[in-house]
Structure 1
Amino acid sequence: MRIAVIGGGPGGLYFAYLWKRRHPDAEVDLFEQNPADATWGFGVVFSDQALEFLRADDPDTVDAIAPRMESWKNITLNLRGESVEIDGVGFSSIGRLELLTLLQARARAAGVAAHYETVVQSADQFSGYDLIVAADGLNSLVRRTFEKEFGASVTTSTNNFAWYGTTKTFATLSQTFVATERGSFNAHHYRYSPAMSTFLVECDAATWNAYGFADMSIEESQAICERVFAKTLDGHRLVSNKSVWRNFPWIWNERWSHRNMVLIGDALHSAHFSIGSGARLAIEDAIALVKALETEADTQAALARYESERKPIVKKLVTAARTSADWYEHFPDHMKLDLMDFAHSYITRSGRIDDARLSAMSPQFMARYEASRKMGAHHGA
C-alpha cells in the first residue's frame, strides 16, 4: 500500500510512524512545508487521561515522551490578587518542537520517508497513492479544495488571543484574570520545560478594540500584554514566535473522507485551547484510522468505519470545547463573581463535571467551596 501523509504535525507524524511500524512493507511518504526544526507555538498539554489512552495502545511512545514532560496535579486560578487551587486535575506538558522531534525520530526509525520544506500545491500531485492522509492543519489544502465534498464549515470565535512563551515557570496549569481600565484579559500559562512556559493571552472583542490592537505591531501588542500581566510575569519578559492576534477557528466536516483522501486532526476538527486537546485528538484520530484500515480489507469500507466509530467520540469532545469556549466569550462577566463562585463556574464550564464528580475529583476544593457557600448563606441571613 502506498500512502501519502500531508502535514508533519503530531497527527501526521504519528499516523505515518504507526502504520509503517506495523506494516514495514508499506510505502509511507510524509510531506511537510516547514523545515523539520520549525514550529510555531510553545508547549502542548495532555491530560492524565489522554496519556493513559495512548499508553494502552503504544506504551513505547509514552515511555519516550514521558521523561521529557512537566507534570502537575492541580489547576491554579488567579483573580483580583487572590488565588485558589483546584486539586485532582492532572496534566502534563511538553514543548511542541520537542514532541515533534521525538515523533520524527520514531517515524524515521520505522522507515517513513519524510520530505520537509516541500510545499504541496495540489492534491493532484498524489495520483499514484492508494491513500492520502490529510493532516495539514487548520488551513488544510485538501479540505479547502474539496470543501463541498467534505461538508466543511469554518467559523471563528469573537475573542482574540496571542500565543507567547516566557522564561517564568509556573508550578501548575494556571489562569490569571486581570481587569484594566479598558477591559479584561485572561492568560493561560503553564511550564512545558524546566526553563520555559506557555503564556497565551486572551481578551474579548471590546477590550481588543479599546486597546487598538488591530493597528499595532507584534512588539507593541507584546509590550502591552507584559504590562497587563507584570505581576504574574514577575520581572520576566514574554517571548514571541509569530505571536499575532488571532480568533479561534471552529472547523467541522460532516464527511471525513472523499475518494481516497481522509482528514485527521485540525484539518478535520478543531477543539478550543481551553480544553487542551488539539494534539491529543490528532494522535487519537491517527490511532483510530490505523485500526479501521487494519479491520477492513477495502479502503473505502475502512474510511467509512473510521468516521462512524470515531465521529461520536470527537463530537462529544468538540461539544464540550464549544461550551468551554462560550464561557470564555463571557469571562469579563464571570469575573464579577467572588473567587470561590468564579472557580466553581470555571471548573464546571464544559458541562462534563457536576458537583458529585467534582467532590470525588477535587475534595479539597469542594470542601473550601462548600464552606464559602455556608459562610455566604450565614452572612445573608
Structure 2
Amino acid sequence: MKLRSVDVLGGGPGGLYVARLLKLRHPHTRVRVFEQSEPASTFGFGVGLATRTQRNLDAADPETFAAIVANSWSHEMSMAVGGRQVSLALDNLIAIGRSMLLDILRAHAAEAGVEFRYNARVTADELDADLVIAADGVSSGTRESRAEVFGARVDVHKGLYLWAGTDVALPRAVFAPMRTEYGTFVAHAYPYASDRSTFLIETDEETWRRAGFDVASERLPLDASDTDSLEYLGEAFAEHLHGHRLIGNRTRWLRFRTVSCERWHDGNVVLLGDAAHTAHYSIGSGTKLAMEGGIALAAAIADADDLEAALVQYEQVRRPAVEHLQETATRSMSWWDSFPTRLDLPVEQLLVSYMTRAGKVSVDRFAGSAGDVVRTALAQYARCEVSHVDDGNLTEWVLRQPLGTAFGSRRVRASEVPGLRPVHVSVSDPWGSGADTLVKELGADEAMSGVLLSAADDTGSVLTMFDVAERIRREVGTLVVARLDPEATELAVGALVTERVDLVDLGGAA
C-alpha cells in the first residue's frame, strides 16, 4: 500500500515511535508529528519496560532499542512490610526517564526523516493526510469528538494516586505500605537514573479526605504540584527515601481512568495508545501499550493492500492482547486497592499473593525464580518450619497440609463438611455492590458453619470467586471452601497459600 502522507497527533512515546517505524518502511511518505507544546515542557518521571516489551521493541527497531537500553537503569524488586523487606533477584527490569525516552524517540524519528510541528493545536478534521494517527493521550480530543463513532467509554475509579519522584537512585524497586494517623498509603517506587527514582503513592478516598488532601487539590493551580501532600508523604516514607525528599512535576492526586473503545478507527483516523485504551499502572505502562500498538499498526499498514484493510487488521491483531491486559490490569488494580486489608500477612506470603494475583503466575512457577521466598511463604501458610517444606511436589504438599485439628488436608469433599452454605459466585466485580450485599448477607447468617463457593470454570470467574472468598474470610470470619474443576488446581494452590480460601474440593478422592 502506498501512503502519500501520515499525520500523527501527539508527541508522546506512541506517536513518536510509530512515526519513525512508518517513515522507515515508507521513506517516500511525508510523516509529520503535531505536538501542542515544546519538547522542553515534558513532565513525568520514570517509565518501566518489562522483558516482553523489551523483546518486542528490539525486534521492531534494534537501533532505537539499543539507545533506550544504554540510557536505562536496571533494578531488582522488593516489598517492605512490617519492618521486613524481601527482595527478588530479577535481572530483566529496566526503567528510563520519560524525558530521556522522548528525547531518544524524537531524535530517532527525526533521523528517519519525520517532520515536527510544535505548539500546534490542531484537530484530526483539520488535517489533510492519507492517514491520521490520534496518539493524543488519555484525554484524547479526537476520541471525545467522535465518542459515539468509536464507542468510547471512560471509567473513573475511586482510588487516588500521585506521581512523584526523588533525587536518588533507590537500591531497588520497592512496594511499601505506610500506616498513618489518617489511613494507609502505598508506595510503588523504582530507580530510573543514577540520581532519580519514581515514587508513585496511592490511597483510598477515605484516607485521602481525612488527610485533607481533597481540600488542597481543589485550590491547586493547573500546572502546580501539590506541595502539601509531597511534604507530608515525604515524612511518612522517610525510611524509604534515605534522607532525600519527594519532588513533584505537575504532581497532583488523580483517579485512574480506564479507557476502552468499541472501534479504534473511523475512516482514515485511527486511535493509538491511551487515546484508545488504558491499563492500570500496576500491570503495565501506557508507554508499553502505545509503543507495542505502534508496532502492530506499522506492520498492518505494510501488509495490507488498502488503508481500511490495514486498520481493520491492526485492530483484529492488537485488540485481543489489549483486552486481555486490561482484564488482568483491572484485577491487579483491585488487589492493590485492597492491599491494606492483607497487612496482617507476612511479607513473603504477600509477595506470593502479589505474583499470583492475576492468575498469570503459579506458585510452582514463582518458586522457580524465588525459591527461598516461596519456601518461607509455604512455611508461613502451613505454620511449620521452612525445613519441613517439601520441594519435590509443591502442589501436593500444599494440598495435604492440615487445617488446625479439624481437617487433615486442605483438599476435602465438601459433602463431608457439615453446615456449609452453598453460594454460586456470579458477580463480575468482587468489590462492587453485588459482592457487598452478598458478604453482608452471609455475615448475618448465624446458622451456617461455613460457605461453599462455586463459579463458572473459566479462569476469570475462578479468580473473581477467590476475591470474594478472601472478603468473606476477612469480613465474615467464617470457613470458606471452594469447589473447583481439577484443571484449576494451580489457581487453588495459590489461593490456599495466600489465605484467600481455607479448603478446596477438587473432585475425586480427598
Q: Does 1:219 align with 2:227?
A: yes
Matches of 1:97 and 1:344 in 2, distance apart? 34
Q: 2:17 aligns with which of 14, 17, 37?
A: 14
In the TM superposition, residue 88 of structure 1 has moved relative to its aligned partner by: 3.7
User: What letter is aligned with 1:192?
Assistant: Y
Cα-to-partner distance string for 1:7-41 (whole Å, 9 max, x where unaligned)? 00000000001111121100111101121122221
3-state SS of the aligned residue for 1:274? coil
Q: Does 1:124 align with 2:135?
A: no
Q: 1:90 aligns with which of 85, 92, 99?
A: 92
Q: 2:353 aligns with which of 342, 345, 349?
A: 345
Q: 1:277 aligns with which of 278, 285, 295?
A: 285
* Equivalence for 2:61: 58
Matches of 1:378 and 1:227 in 2, distance apart? 44
In the TM superposition, residue 158 of structure 1 has moved relative to its aligned partner by: 1.2
3-state SS of the aligned residue for 2:358? coil
* Equivalence for 2:38: 35
Please tell me whether the aligned partners of residues 152 and 259 of structure 2 are also in contact (alpha carbons under 8 angstroms).
Answer: yes
Q: 1:306 aligns with which of 286, 308, 314?
A: 314
Matches of 1:173 and 1:151 in 2, distance apart? 38
User: What letter is aligned with 1:295?
Assistant: D
Cα-to-partner distance string for 1:283-313 (whole Å, 9 max, x where unaligned)? 1100100111111111001100000111001
Cα-to-partner distance string for 1:298-331 (whole Å, 9 max, x where unaligned)? 1001100000111001111111111100111112
Superposition TM-score, scaled by structure 2 size: 0.72
Q: 1:236 aligns with which of 207, 229, 244?
A: 244
User: What letter is aligned with 1:233?
Assistant: L
Please tell me whether the aligned partners of residues 124 and 134 of structure 2 are also in contact (alpha carbons under 8 angstroms).
Answer: no
Superposition TM-score, scaled by structure 1 size: 0.95
* Equivalence for 1:107: 109
Q: 2:367 aligns with which of 353, 359, 362?
A: 359
Please tell me whether the aligned partners of residues 348 and 374 of structure 2 are also in contact (alpha carbons under 8 angstroms).
Answer: no
297-306 or 341-350, larger mean C-alpha shift: 341-350
Matches of 1:33 and 1:124 in 2, distance apart? 16
Matches of 1:270 and 1:83 in 2, distance apart? 31
Please tell me whether the aligned partners of residues 80 and 178 of structure 1 are also in contact (alpha carbons under 8 angstroms).
Answer: no
Q: 2:50 aligns with which of 47, 52, 57?
A: 47
263-272 or 169-178, larger mean C-alpha shift: 169-178
Matches of 2:33 and 2:202 in 1, distance apart? 34
Please tell me whether the aligned partners of residues 152 and 253 of structure 1 are also in contact (alpha carbons under 8 angstroms).
Answer: yes
In the TM superposition, residue 380 of structure 1 has moved relative to its aligned partner by: 5.9
Please tell me whether the aligned partners of residues 323 and 351 of structure 1 are also in contact (alpha carbons under 8 angstroms).
Answer: no
Determine which structure has more spread, i.e. the larger CA radius of gyration: 2
Matches of 2:180 and 2:351 in 1, distance apart? 20
* Equivalence for 1:187: 187
Please tell me whether the aligned partners of residues 166 and 247 of structure 2 are also in contact (alpha carbons under 8 angstroms).
Answer: yes
Matches of 1:318 and 1:357 in 2, distance apart? 23
Matches of 1:8 and 1:98 in 2, distance apart? 13
Q: Does 1:152 align with 2:145?
A: no
Please tell me whether the aligned partners of residues 331 and 358 of structure 2 are also in contact (alpha carbons under 8 angstroms).
Answer: yes
Q: Could you list the runs of 5+ residues in structure 2 that have no partner in the other structure? A: 221-225, 385-400, 406-510
Cα-to-partner distance string for 1:165-198 (whole Å, 9 max, x where unaligned)? 1013212221111111210000111110001000
Matches of 1:108 and 1:53 in 2, distance apart? 22
* Equivalence for 1:81: 83
Please tell me whether the aligned partners of residues 16 and 28 of structure 1 are also in contact (alpha carbons under 8 angstroms).
Answer: yes
Structure showing greater relative contact order (alpha-carbon pairs closer than 8 Å, 6 or more residues apart): 1
Matches of 1:310 and 1:361 in 2, distance apart? 30
Percentage of identical aligned residues: 37
In the TM superposition, residue 143 of structure 1 has moved relative to its aligned partner by: 0.3
Please tell me whether the aligned partners of residues 38 and 97 of structure 1 are also in contact (alpha carbons under 8 angstroms).
Answer: no
Matches of 1:379 and 1:232 in 2, distance apart? 37
3-state SS of the aligned residue for 1:275? coil
Say what the alpha-carbon RMSD is for the aligned residues. 1.6
Matches of 1:262 and 1:292 in 2, distance apart? 12
3-state SS of the aligned residue for 1:273? coil
Cα-to-partner distance string for 1:350-378 (whole Å, 9 max, x where unaligned)? 22111122122333322332233344579
* Equivalence for 1:5: 8
3-state SS of the aligned residue for 2:41? coil
Matches of 2:132 and 2:368 in 1, distance apart? 44
In the TM superposition, residue 337 of structure 1 has moved relative to its aligned partner by: 2.1
366-375 or 195-204, larger mean C-alpha shift: 366-375
Please tell me whether the aligned partners of residues 189 and 199 of structure 1 are also in contact (alpha carbons under 8 angstroms).
Answer: yes
* Equivalence for 1:289: 297
Matches of 2:287 and 2:117 in 1, distance apart? 21
Cα-to-partner distance string for 1:119-168 (whole Å, 9 max, x where unaligned)? 22x32211x21110000000111100000100110011211111111013
Matches of 1:370 and 1:329 in 2, distance apart? 25
Cα-to-partner distance string for 1:231-286 (whole Å, 9 max, x where unaligned)? 21122111110001000110011101011100111101111111233211111100
Q: Could you list the runs of 5+ residues in structure 1 that have no partner in the other structure? A: none
* Equivalence for 2:461: none
Task: Figure out how many residues of one structure are paired with residues of the other and give that number.
Answer: 378
Q: 2:268 aligns with which of 260, 269, 283?
A: 260
User: What letter is aligned with 2:201?
Assistant: V
Q: 1:202 to 1:89 in 2, by over 3 A?
A: farther
Matches of 2:402 and 2:348 in 1, distance apart? 16
Please tell me whether the aligned partners of residues 74 and 91 of structure 2 are also in contact (alpha carbons under 8 angstroms).
Answer: no
213-222 or 320-329, larger mean C-alpha shift: 213-222
User: What letter is aligned with 2:292?
Assistant: E
Matches of 1:38 and 1:244 in 2, distance apart? 17
Matches of 2:337 and 2:176 in 1, distance apart? 15
User: What letter is aligned with 1:8?
Assistant: G
Matches of 2:227 and 2:286 in 1, distance apart? 27
